[in-house]
Amino acid sequence: MEAKEILVEERVPIKSRIWVSVADASTAMLNTFVVSVGLTYYFTSFRGMNAELAATVWLLFGIWNAINDPLFGFISDRTKSKLGRRIPYIRYGSPIIGIAFILSWLIIGGPDASQTVMFIQMTLLLFIFDALYTAIATSIYVMPFEMAVSNKARSSIFIWKIIFSVFPLAVPLVLWGFIKPEPGSDPQTFILIMAGFGIIMAALVFFSTFFYWEKHFQQEEKQLPFLKSIKECFTNRSFIVFEVISFTIMYVQTSLMLGLNYFLSEFSISPIAVYASLGVGIVGGIFLFVNVREKWGVKKSTIFMSAVFSIGCFMILGLGRELIPTMVGSFCFGIGFAGGMYLIPMMNGDVVDMDEHRTGLRREGMYAGVNSLITKPAISLANSAFLWFLSAYGYNFTASSGSQSARAETGILMGWVLVPGILLAISSASLFLYPLAGKKWDDIKNKLAQIHIGKEKTLMAAKGIRFEE
């Protein structure tokens, strides 16, 4: 059988695609509640923890992340079990992350707990939660590359993951608005709801692992030492170019979601028009990239996506006080968000494939860890840069909505879209240096598919199992 035929015929069962997407969304919802939506508010505004202490916790957390992510990626690549390299962390980590999530909302030490007790609780549980989140989320993130070789088969998984990504974007924000405990109120109902939510999400992640599988031949391979493993990532030229767009997308998504509420609060632009344009752009972007990826390839599709995304930023920067340009810019944002969710993981898979071509090893976990090491600071930088622009342009943080000066409104636009627009333009240009495209790369992918089939045959024969072609 020709390698090309293998790639065309590779299929991932629909139940596997759905359940790995359920696990991805469930884990992301837990993380959104802890890291983005609720934990800081809960400890500072509701429980009365000193804001500077809370800031110290997040500083320590940032240092922990720098160590945690690449270290786990290295460990998971070297894991050997009957379930594979990734599934054990997803299955057995899910009950523990559920417990850590629940404990994060318990009032340890009582209503009059000291600052020290709250500091220890927040720090310890955030570290435990994030360690488990890294283990589970990184494993889920690389599962499509463990489940399939061809971009066509991987694409079928990413489409479902995009569909389910709506839930971690919407559910925590909506639910938090209804259950958020006000200072001085009784938190029992809130704690019970959060406990139930944690149990349900952990259960979904646990049961999902019975519906998707890994290609086990990869765990039989020896892995590189830790430092050499990191070094090999940075000698992969495609990884360097990929990190430019990966960092940019993380920064842009953080900045645009952060600035949107400020923009809608101060400008006389219909929120319905903005959200509708954004939604149409996301749906249209998914439809576009799913249909043109095979024809254009991942490289050209990503260049187009980042260019459109950048145009949307500069359009709103210059004309953000007018409805029609803002709607067009929001539509471009939607296309960019869709491309970021669909194309970036596809590109990441190709980068890892090139690494396998160079080293003979599959090291998705290490690449995911090093990628997180580089991209996670983008979240902090996006928040800091936005606040810097607001302060520089005289934004009044204590004023009511709709009462800012024209200069402060300009600061909102600058902080919201200027840096994202520049970064996206740079990324679009840098992608012309991305080497994984064209006939030569297609031949390498076909060769890898043949190698994988051969490795799987050898492993199954050694275990007395007949390989069915």
State how far the Cα of 368 lies from the Cα of 361, in Å rounded to an integer: 15
Q: How confident is the model over 301-308, as a mean pLDDT? A: 95
State how far the Cα of 184 lies from the Cα of 202, in Å rounded to an integer: 30
Please report, for residues 21, 133, 294, 358, the alpha-carbon distance to residue 448 in angstroms, rounded to integers and kept in the order given: 26, 31, 18, 11
Give 437's contacts (C-beta < 8 A, 6+ positions apart). 297, 298, 299, 300
- 3-state percent breakdown (helix, strand, coil) of the chain, nearest 5: 80, 0, 20
Both 255 and 333 in one domain: the answer is yes
Q: What is the pTM of this model?
A: 0.70
* 51-102 pLDDT per residue, tens: 678 777 777 776 776 677 777 767 776 777 777 788 899 999 999 999 999 9
Both 206 and 270 in one domain: the answer is no
In a domain, 113, yes or no: yes
Query: Which range is most confident: 33-37, 183-187, 213-217, 372-376?
Result: 183-187
Q: Which amino acid is at 342?
A: Y
pLDDT for residue 469 is more than 90: no
Q: Give SS3 for 30.
A: helix
Both 380 and 286 in one domain: the answer is yes
* 276-288 pLDDT per residue, tens: 898 889 889 888 9
Structure tokens at 412: 């909102």
Confidence of residue 3 (pLDDT cuts 50, 70, 90): very low
Q: How confident is the model over 367-371, as a mean pLDDT? A: 75
* 110-142 pLDDT per residue, tens: 888 899 999 999 889 888 998 888 889 888 887
Both 146 and 245 in one domain: the answer is no
Structure tokens at 256: 């645009």
Both 266 and 187 in one domain: the answer is no
Q: Give me the pLDDT at residue 192, please.
A: 95
Q: Which of 392, 289, 385 is nearest to 335 (CA)?
A: 289
State how far the Cα of 113 lies from the Cα of 119, in Å rounded to an integer: 10
Q: Give SS3 for 395.
A: coil
Q: Give me the pLDDT at residue 193, please.
A: 94
Q: What is the mean pLDDT of the chain?
A: 82
Provide the sign of the torsion angle of the four alpha carbons 211, 217, 221, 227, taken in this order: negative
Q: Which of 381, 382, 272, 277 is nearest to 325 (CA)?
A: 277
Q: Give me the pLDDT at residue 105, please.
A: 92
Q: Give me the pLDDT at residue 4, please.
A: 42
Cβ(42)–Cβ(360) below 8 Å = no
Both 259 and 405 in one domain: the answer is yes
In a domain, 242, yes or no: yes
* 289-300 pLDDT per residue, tens: 888 888 898 899
Q: Give me the pLDDT at residue 209, please.
A: 94
Write the DSSP assignment of 229-267 as a string of letters. Answer: HHHHHHT-HHHHHHHHHHHHHHHHHHHHHHHHHHHHHHS
Q: Give me the pLDDT at residue 467, please.
A: 45
In a domain, 464, yes or no: no
Q: Give me the pLDDT at residue 428, please.
A: 94
Q: Give me the pLDDT at residue 456, please.
A: 59
Q: How confident is the model over 427-450, as a mean pLDDT? A: 87
State how far the Cα of 467 lies from the Cα of 173, in Å rounded to an integer: 48
Label residues 375-409 b or e (16+ Cβ within 10 Å = b): bbbbbebbeebbeebbeebebeeeeeeeebeeebb
- The domain boundary, picked from 198, 220, 242, lies at 220
Provide the sign of the torsion angle of the four alpha carbons 114, 33, 368, 128, taken in this order: positive
Structure tokens at 348: 């990441």
Is the model more confident about 217 or about 347?
347
* 179-197 pLDDT per residue, tens: 888 878 888 999 999 999 9
Q: How confident is the model over 148-169, as a mean pLDDT? A: 76
In a domain, 381, yes or no: yes
In a domain, 449, yes or no: no
Number of domains the chain is built from:
2
Both 107 and 209 in one domain: the answer is yes
State how far the Cα of 208 lies from the Cα of 19, in Å rounded to an integer: 5
Q: How many helices (H) and strands (E) would you count in the chain?
A: 18, 0
State how far the Cα of 27 lies from the Cα of 198, in Å rounded to an integer: 10
* 328-343 pLDDT per residue, tens: 999 999 899 888 888 8
In a domain, 169, yes or no: yes
Q: Give me the pLDDT at residue 53, please.
A: 80
Both 193 and 236 in one domain: the answer is no
Q: Which amino acid is at 40?
A: T
Instruction: Report CA Rg, the chain.
Output: 23
State how far the Cα of 271 lies from the Cα of 278, in Å rounded to an integer: 10
Q: Give me the pLDDT at residue 426, please.
A: 95
Cβ(277)–Cβ(327) below 8 Å = yes
Q: Give me the pLDDT at residue 6, please.
A: 39
Both 298 and 161 in one domain: the answer is no
Both 61 and 165 in one domain: the answer is yes
pLDDT for residue 468 is more than 60: no
In a domain, 454, yes or no: no
Other CB atoms closer than 10 Å to residue 466's CB: what's the count?
7
Q: Give me the pLDDT at residue 455, please.
A: 64
Q: Which helix (H) or strand (E) holds 284?
A: helix 271-319
**Domain around 238:** 225-437
Which phi and psi (to 5°) does residue 112 adopt? -105, 30
* 204-250 pLDDT per residue, tens: 999 999 998 876 545 555 656 666 777 777 888 888 999 999 999 98
Structure tokens at 102: 């629940």
Both 350 and 408 in one domain: the answer is yes
Cβ(219)–Cβ(81) below 8 Å = yes
CATH of the domain at 122: 1.20.1250.20
Both 290 and 418 in one domain: the answer is yes
Cβ(13)–Cβ(456) below 8 Å = no
Structure tokens at 264: 């809608």
Q: Give SS3 for 26.
A: helix
